Chain A
């Protein structure tokens, strides 16, 4: 905005605002072309821009606004119906005006945008079916303009008629109130004239007030009319609000952040004091600070409608372009969010909406064939819930085929076929947020390139939000986005480990688990070397915070009490072991300096009540570092699976799932498992004609499970192998398996009908038939004698 004066700046701001309303009004008009008030509003917007730009000498701007106004004039007079073509042309006019205003904002000059084509189009529409006599060339439209004022007249001389009487210089609704009162005989014209004269000679009171004080009018009438007038003009809001620079609000927010910290310190100090006078004062300080914080946060709040108001236009243009018909309904536009967050979700939301139109909603004929209304229905809904804002976008389109997503993801190498086989539908769906996965049959200029959804998720997670998807084929899709209200001050759980305190944003927190005594020692199990905890039958990957931070050696087995903070990141849950769990506190997020920018484990820092600095953990970063995010995908759904496979019950067992040979699965009763180990293949030696490895200062004979079961499968030349150590009568045997998959708890029926002695029976685990092995028989079949020769192992 350099180089242009304030007046032009104000003109730009006002014009932008008016043009936003202009779009919304035009779309509303398309729905209801008879709405005269909306049409007037559209007309007024263009008219004002025309007048003001003429005043500033922006000729091109004025010229375009003028032809637009002419066309609108005929619409207003009812001489032309609002067709789709006209609406499109008028919307384009709005866009072009915006572009031209943008050029003015940047350069201070009008620039040389060519508007002649659009002007000609508007003129053609203006001429419409009208007689040739009405037709006037675009370069001299002033002669037929409805407005009696010449196009180049300065704006000051040419206020819109609607505004003429509405307000005097002080914004007082003088004329109108007077008119209303006298028209309806509630006050005499003489009294009104006298009151107006009093105002002119310096009486600062409002007209109604003067009249009421003089007894010339009934206060109730005046109040009713003021209200009526406020309703009809729609301008009352601007009377009671002012523009404030966002920078100032940001500064205020920072100061309030400092105050919150100082408050926290005072409260802590006072708690140590016994003097009740301090306690009272600090309590008041506490309350006032909280209210001030809320108040300042509110000043930065904006209704989400500010982002949404662009969306009907996006939907309209896009659905026309792809030949679809879509009705967008918006619920909860008033839901408020911090300005920074509003800005951050703008692009992701637009992208989601475009996606829904482009591949959610079907073509009208397809919809009708499926027995659905030709017009697709999309609903955008926002609401507050538990200190967060939920935004839901639902459509009644064709839904997302999880299998198509899977095939595409496999083809793109995002996941392997084996991984896919273990994923349930909900997990498959989340793959659409991976880079490179798009299920669009055709790549259009809108979507289908497979970029975008991953960016959407990244952007939403960057501001501490999450995104979830639910779909039903043929019925539609709902995408749910959860985002925090604000970023500057967040509630956080304070934990400590290795003597340092850390803050964990509450948004990532699910629950706290405390293990004591025997549980503390044995509650954490190991699967495939990774620690897990069984939380209500579900395997929760465990991450030790102090180990991730490399703050201490590995001695978690000695803990008397284990505190687990259950967190979620990227749709997955994991447990974080910490030494102590303290309180929750409102913390002020402060950025880390440039020396720590690449510290992925920390989202920032904050100052605690005692004045010391504490780091804020980046839950996503920790999950990534500990690799729980990718690994757990395969396991996430074990619980649901075994609940579903409802076999006639005889026994409930905990089973270790392993992969054997070429993609076969087997299960071993966990009570038969001594340990799970991983050996390097090069560690295999030969002893007494068998493969053995050195293990815990002894020799461990190995048995290839694939060979024992006769299922075949290649031997790896190098790398590592997973071994299940089974001990019987003091002798250990290492069962070499293809892969250790999971631990599940399951009701099984052991039938012994299987003719293979080493198989106890078969069960369905995670949707796959799995043999439960009889380890005793197995080891016996492998030659108990030869294992026995290692007596003393």
Chain B
């Protein structure tokens, strides 16, 4: 597992929302954030694979983070946002409900995964930063894009 061990160092996170939870991805992983794109579904693929998008001529696989984290399905009227990230298996787009700000975190506020998280979500979260009034859950991007059954 490539859980980033340097999260305790001064870090910037790109934040985003899924259901009522706030997550963060290390800023340097994020290539760009783009609004909802026309999506081409891939029949018989892993359900986490939402489809393919055209990113300026490159075909990028989009993964639905809600499904990956086994959260309730996204309401139809809610258009997802693409966060295009660089991973060890190439460019991928992660679909989230809403994009948030880029935040600087104080390493002193870092803790392990909160007890309230269960199941898959807990495995894909390296820990949490306590911000004012909310928790920032740090997504283990490499683990999140590694789908069960896909090598």
Q: Once the chains are docked, how many angstroms separate the CA of A418 from the CA of B59?
A: 48
Q: Which B residues lie within 8 Å of A614 (CB)?
A: 40
Is A569 an interface residue, CB under 8 A from the partner? no
User: Please, how many angstroms separate the alpha-carbon atoms of A599 and B63 in the complex?
Assistant: 16
Known A605-B52, A605-B59, A607-B59: A595·B40 in contact at CB below 8 Å: no
A612 touches B49 (CB 8 A): no
Chain B residue numbers with a CB within 8 Å of A553 are: none
Give, as a whole number of angstroms, the nearest-CB distance from A181 to chain B.
Answer: 57
Residue of chain A at shortest CB distance from B60: A593
A551's nearest neighbour on chain B, judged by CB, is B43
The closest CB in chain B to the CB of A588 belongs to B57
Asked if A242 is an interface residue, CB under 8 A from chain B, the answer is no
* Docked complex Cα distance between A492 and B128 (Å): 50
Q: Does A258 contact B (CB under 8 A)?
A: yes
A611 CB within 8 Å of chain B: yes
Complex CA gap A595/B52 in Å reads: 11
Whether A613 lies near B59 (C-beta < 8 A) is yes
Nearest CB on A from B50, distance (A) = 11
Q: A593-B61, A613-B40 are in contact. Are A607 and B54 (CB under 8 A)?
A: yes
Tell whether B102 is near chain A: CB-to-CB under 8 Å.
no
Which residues 107-151 in B have Cβ within 8 Å of A in the complex? 145, 147, 150-151
A594 interface residue (CB < 8 Å to B): yes
**Is A611 touching B63 in the complex (CB atoms < 8 A)?**
no
* Residues A595 and B43 in contact, CB atoms below 8 Å apart: no
B90 interface neighbour in A594, A605, A607, A615, Cβ under 8 Å: A594
- Chain A residues with Cβ below 8 Å from B145 are 595
Residue of A262, A550, A592, A613 touching B43 (CB-CB under 8 A):
A550
Tell me the nearest residue of chain B to A258, going by C-beta: B57
The listed residue (B44, B54, B57, B150) touching A595 by CB distance below 8 A is B150
A649 within 8 A of B: no
B89 pairs with A593, CB closer than 8 A: yes
For A606, give the chain B residue with the smallest CB separation: B59
Tell me the smallest distance from the CB of B63 to a CB of chain A, in Å.
7
CB contacts between A and B, total, < 8 Å: 70
- Given the known A-B contacts A500-B40, A549-B44, are A595 and B53 also in contact in the complex, defined by CB atoms under 8 Å? no
**A696: shortest Cβ distance to chain B, in Å?**
33
Q: Are B54 and A599 in contact (CB under 8 A)?
A: no
Judge whether B41 is part of the interface by a CB distance below 8 angstroms.
yes
Rounded to whole Å, the gap between the CB of B145 and the closest CB of chain A is 8
The answer to whether residues A601 and B44 also contact, given A593-B90, A594-B89, A607-B54 and a CB cut-off of 8 A, is: yes
CB distance from B151 to the nearest CB of A (A): 8
Which size class do A's interface residues fall under? 20 to 34
How long is the Cα–Cα vector from A592 to B90 in the complex, in angstroms? 11
Q: When chains A and B are docked, how far (Å) is the Cα of A549 from the Cα of B40?
A: 14
Q: Is B72 an interface residue (CB 8 A)?
A: no
Is residue A261 within 8 Å, beta carbon to beta carbon, of the partner chain? yes
Cβ of A613 and Cβ of B54 under 8 Å apart?
yes
Chain A contacts for B53, CB-based, 8 A: 613
Question: A120-174: which have CB < 8 Å to B?
Answer: none
A contacts with B: majority SS: mixed
Q: Is there a chain A Cβ closer than 8 Å to B75's Cβ?
A: no
Q: Does B78 contact A (CB under 8 A)?
A: no
Question: Quick one: closest A residue to B150, CB to CB?
Answer: A595
Given A605-B59, A613-B40, CB of A596 within 8 Å of CB of B89: no
Say whether B57 contacts A599, CB under 8 Å. no
| Minimum Cβ distance to chain A for residue B30 (Å) | 18
CB-defined contacts of B52 to chain A, threshold 8 Å:
592, 605, 613, 615
Residue contact A601 to B89, C-beta cutoff 8 Å = no
- Taking a contact as CB atoms closer than 8 A, the residue among B41, B57, B92, B151 that contacts A593 in the complex is B92
Assess whether A602 is interfacial by the CB under 8 Å rule.
Answer: yes
Chain B contacts for A551, CB-based, 8 A: 43
Q: Is B45 an interface residue (CB 8 A)?
A: yes
Q: Quick check: A595 and B59 within 8 Å, CB to CB?
A: no
Tell me, rounded to whole Å, the shortest Cβ–Cβ distance linking A297 to chain B.
19
Nearest-neighbor residue (CB-CB) of A262 within chain B: B57
- Interchain CB contact under 8 A, B92 and A611: no
**Most chain-B Cβ atoms within 10 A of its Cβ — which of A500, A549, A593?**
A593
Residue of B nearest to A594 (CB): B89
Q: Contact at B43–A601, with CB atoms within 8 Å?
A: yes
For B40, the chain A residues whose CB sits under 8 A away are: 500, 605, 612-615
A611/B54 in contact, CB under 8 A:
yes
Is there a chain A Cβ closer than 8 Å to B42's Cβ? yes
CA distance A500 to B51 in the complex (A): 12
Q: List 18 A-B contacts (CB under 8 A).
A: A258-B57, A262-B57, A500-B40, A592-B59, A593-B60, A593-B90, A594-B150, A595-B150, A596-B45, A596-B49, A596-B61, A599-B44, A607-B57, A607-B59, A612-B38, A614-B40, A615-B40, A615-B42
Apart from A595-B45, A595-B89, A596-B61, list 12 A-B contacts with CB within 8 A.
Answer: A593-B92, A594-B150, A595-B46, A595-B49, A595-B63, A595-B92, A595-B145, A596-B45, A601-B43, A612-B38, A612-B54, A613-B40
8 closest A-B pairs by beta carbon, nearest first, are: A549-B43, A613-B40, A593-B61, A613-B52, A594-B89, A612-B38, A258-B57, A605-B59
